[in-house]
Amino acid sequence: MHSTGAFTAVTARTTFGKQLVADSTHPPSSSPAPSTTGSAHPSDKGKRDWPPPVRSYVQRSFADGNIIADVNRQEMEIKLKQVISSSVEAGTLATIDWDNLPLPQVMIQSERRRSHDLSFTSKHPIQVGHPSLTRGIISNKRKSSDPNPSDDVGSRALSWRQSDVRDVFESRVSYPDKRPRNGAGPENVSSKSNQVSEGRKKRFQGASSGTFPATLSRPWRSTTYNLEPTEPKGPIVGRCQDLEKKYFRLTSAPNPDTVRPLHVLEKTLDHLKKKWRREKKYPYICDQFKSLRQDLTVQRIKTSFTVDAYEIHARIALEEGDLSEYNQCQTQLRALYAQNLGGHPFEFLAYRILYFLHTSNRTDMNEVLADLTPTEKQHPAVKHALDARSALALGNYHRFFQLYLDTPNMGAYLMDMFVGRERLSALSAICRAYKPDVPLRFVTEELGFVSDEDCARFTCDHGAPHLLDERDEGVHLLTGKAQGFFEPALKAASARPDAKAHV
């Protein structure tokens, strides 16, 4: 018996030409013959001539400077093909602003961020078929210690499809007792919430299938982008020529037709100064100054004229005792003085110290004292305010009222606001130190009154006419009978002023 070999015998070829007669003993191979490069059939579609903006957009997408590490090239190609194909189908290839259109990697990142904001316990399950969405979720869940960072993303996305997303995250969510589960909402769920959920579901269905609704002519609108050019918002220039204008609080963008330019505001300030000296109508003048300040603000005018306008308004407010307007001007003046625009910074620094004496604001007073420079301390107005503070801190009412009678600039208007409180304090000290009585003239000189009549009126206004004793040598104050009489009045006067008047 002859043994069969482990091979099949074939007839040897004697030429390089094509074999015309096939060996009947050997059937032709079932595998197709390899095709050469020259035998490929040309495509039915001709080569498309893409517009230069589209070509530039594609080049910018794959430029080294625009590459994002979290987005791989395959995702970019899919997104880029999707954007261009959708624009061709919608007929908007030539109308899209390709220069300002976000790059595909930027669109993918935006879609990933939005996907994380969605709750996996919502009424409708999330469609995770979209490759960019699936990769975004998986990459963020991967730990830095993952031993297999090169696992196939597609295989993991398939495992997600095979399992229920709600079951994966069910253990991570804590439900309130009355919260509906498994999409079975109660009857009191609003229809608006249902509409929002339906809209979200449709959006993700479109993303997973790679298609977009017919109403969306631009596919990147699935992620919100603001491609409209924004008009630069800068200072306006007024065109109003009226010297006087009522103050109205702005509720919208200012209209240049109702705003006065700088040269008109300069005439307005001179007009208001003359009118104040002539008529002294504070409500009207205050309204006009607020309107002037508003026109300066909306035009962002910060010059020496701005400082002058705020200083004049602050002085008028002090003269009328309007601390609210004074504080507004003082706050703006501090910022203007910091820009070295001129004005009188030492004068208003002294006013600020005296104001803190009025409000008994020790915290802000300490901050001012800590920031004082040697030059500021030597200025007469600032030095006077510091001496007044020191006299009050030491309880030296004799020195304090001497300073009160010699106050520079308009500091006396501020000191008038708390001098009554300090007179009550000094009067209580006099009644404890001098027994059984003292001449009223002595009290007048010590407490800085202009005359004995003013001193007697002050005593009577606080319910102490019985402490005044008229004698041949003059009126005396019966200090022996005034044991603690002025203490309640002093306590009421020492109450901190309204917080609305603070700086």
For the stretch 361-418, pLDDT in tens is 999 999 999 999 999 999 999 999 999 999 999 999 999 999 999 999 999 999 999 9
* Contacts of residue 310, Cβ cutoff 8 Å, sequence gap at least 6: 293, 329, 332, 333, 336
Phi then psi for residue 476, to 5 deg, are -120, 150
3-state secondary structure string, 437-448? CEEHHHHHHHCC
Alpha helices by DSSP H, listed for 163-261, are 165-170, 191-209
* In the block, residue with structure tokens 């002037």: 292
pTM: 0.54
Token pair for 220: 């990147």
Please list the residues that pair with 471 across neighbouring strands: 474
Q: What is the 3-state secondary structure (H, E, C) of 347-378?
A: HHHHHHHHHHHHHCCHHHHHHHHHHCCHHHHH
pLDDT tens digits, residue range 425-479?
Answer: 999 999 999 989 999 999 999 999 999 999 999 999 988 888 999 988 889 999 9
- Strand 438-439 to 468-471 pairing: unpaired
Give me the DSSP letters along 163-176. S-HHHHHHTT-PPP
Q: Which pLDDT belongs to residue 196?
A: 67
| Residues 6 or more apart in contact with residue 246 via CB below 8 angstroms | 287, 291
Return d(Cα 290, Cα 465) in angstroms, integer. 45
Tens of pLDDT, residue by residue over 68-107, are 878 888 888 898 888 888 888 888 888 888 888 888 888 8
